Amino acid sequence: MREKIIIGLAVVAAGLLAWNMNTIFTGLPDELNQGAIYRIIYFHVPANILGMLGFGLGMILSIGYLVTKDLRYDALAASVTEVSLVFASIGLATGSIWARIIWGVWWAWDLRLTSWLVCWLIFGGYLMLRRAVDEPIQRARFAAVVSVLGSVNAYISYKSIEWWNTQHPQPVLSIRDGGGMAPGMEAPIYWNLLALACFSVILVMVRMRQESFAREIDTLRRMAHAQ
Amino acid sequence: MKSIPFAGWHTRNDLEKRLNRNVQFMLLGLGAAWMIMFIYVVLITLRERKLRKELDRVRRMVEHPNK
């Protein structure tokens, strides 16, 4: 059943991405002030949204673990956080390349960029911590605490463009009362978000299967040592 | 006598350069996004293969402890 869901989602994601790439490159004109480079927004924004949502979901699952002590919550939190970190990396890389053309610099130490980089480092640390601690219950508890702290930082990063004046633009999307894009240019962002969301669900499902393999290996090793 | 190029040529060349750079960086940005996803998919696939091998090995070890 899991395999069928993965294949189904892969077909939907691939179809949507192909259709979106066609729309982005052949159906949309260049932006008046930015030229062709603005098309980076179709990966930059969805990737960052998925990164932030994933870190938030990871926090909820981590709290779920702390309350119930059920290791399945921890496994799901680890899977979601790892995939979210990949999307956050895409957001940072694409943002930096976009900034080089529009701002003339690869990086600006403003509150949005800095807080998002700190968030990326915290969740990178989260994954390193998980590798460093062998005992599953201790690992899950430490990781849950880091996840909660990191997600607070992710929320600060999300709100930073509203709370402070930053080099990074203020909200642009109409769902955040931005209204800075033509509807025809905004819609492909949501379609790409859907495509990447399908892709991220596939990745989380594969990571969950790996977590169950790792748990089984751990259990069998303990059995082998006990024999 | 050294010829002085028409000023308009400079402007057009500069504009073309800027436009080319704009498109190059757009392709670089989109390429980076695809590349990061591709690298992660490769890493996750390699990890899966390693885990399956390890699981088989440990299963055999538990089922036939004397081998």
ipTM score assigned to the predicted complex: 0.91
Would the CB atoms of B40 and A203 count as touching at under 8 Å? yes
Measured in angstroms, the CA of A153 and the nearest CA of chain B are apart by 24
Is the Cα dihedral B16, B17, B23, B26 positive or negative?
negative
Identify the pLDDT of residue A42: 95
Confidence of residue B66 (pLDDT cuts 50, 70, 90): low
Name the average pLDDT for chain A.
93
Nearest Cα neighbor of B25 from A127, A39, A178, A138 is A39
Q: Do B33 and A93 touch (CB under 8 A)?
A: yes
Q: In whole angstroms, give the CA distance from residue A85 to residue A122.
A: 10
What are the pLDDT digits (tens) for B26-55? 999 999 999 999 999 999 999 999 999 999
Q: Tell me which amino acid residue A169 is.
A: P
What pTM does this model have? 0.90
Q: Rounded to whole angstroms, how far apart are CA atoms B56 and A70?
A: 26
> What pLDDT band is residue A174 in, cutting at 50, 70 and 90?
confident
Look at residue B1 and tell me whether its pLDDT is greater than 50.
no
Average pLDDT over residues A8-25: 94
Give the percent of chain A with pLDDT over 70.
99
Q: Please report which confidence band the pLDDT of residue B9 belongs to, taking 50, 70 and 90 as the band edges.
A: low
pLDDT at B64: 80
CB A42 within 8 A of CB A189: yes
Q: How far is B6 from chain A (nearest CA, A)?
A: 26
How many angstroms from the chain centroid is the CA of residue A127? 14
Helix, coil or strand: residue A181 = coil
Residue A125 has phi, psi (to 5 degrees) of -65, -35
The H or E element spanning position A64 is helix A41-68
CB atoms within 10 A of CB A13: 19
A224·B22 Cβ contact <8 A = no
Q: Which of A48, A90, A98, A131 to mutate to test the interface with B (most CBs of B within 10 A)?
A: A90
Give the span between the Cα atoms of A79 and A209, in whole angstroms: 10
Verify whether the Cβ–Cβ distance B37 to A214 is below 8 Å. no
pLDDT at A142: 96
Q: Cα–Cα–Cα angle for A50, A52, A57, nearest 5°?
A: 90
Structure tokens at B7: 């000023």
Cβ of residue A18 closer than 8 Å to a chain B Cβ:
no
Q: Which residues contact A220 (CB under 8 A, 6 or more apart)?
A: B55, B58, B59, B61, B62
pLDDT, position B67: 60
Are A205 and A5 in contact by the 8 Å Cβ rule? The answer is yes
pLDDT tens for A35-88 read: 899 999 999 999 999 999 999 999 999 999 999 999 999 999 999 999 999 999
**pLDDT for residue A221:** 87
Which of A1-5, A17-21, A102-106 is the least confident region? A1-5
Identify the CA nearest to A93 among candidates A36, A48, A56. A48
The answer, yes or no, to whether residue A32 has pLDDT greater than 90, is no
Buried b (16+ CB within 10 A) or exposed e, A147-168: beebbebbebbbebbeeeebeb
Domains of chain A, residue spans? 39-167+200-226
Of A133, A161, A128, nearest in space to A45 by CA: A161
For A189-209, what is the mean pLDDT?
95
Tell me what pLDDT residue B48 has.
Answer: 94
Confidence of residue A134 (pLDDT cuts 50, 70, 90): confident
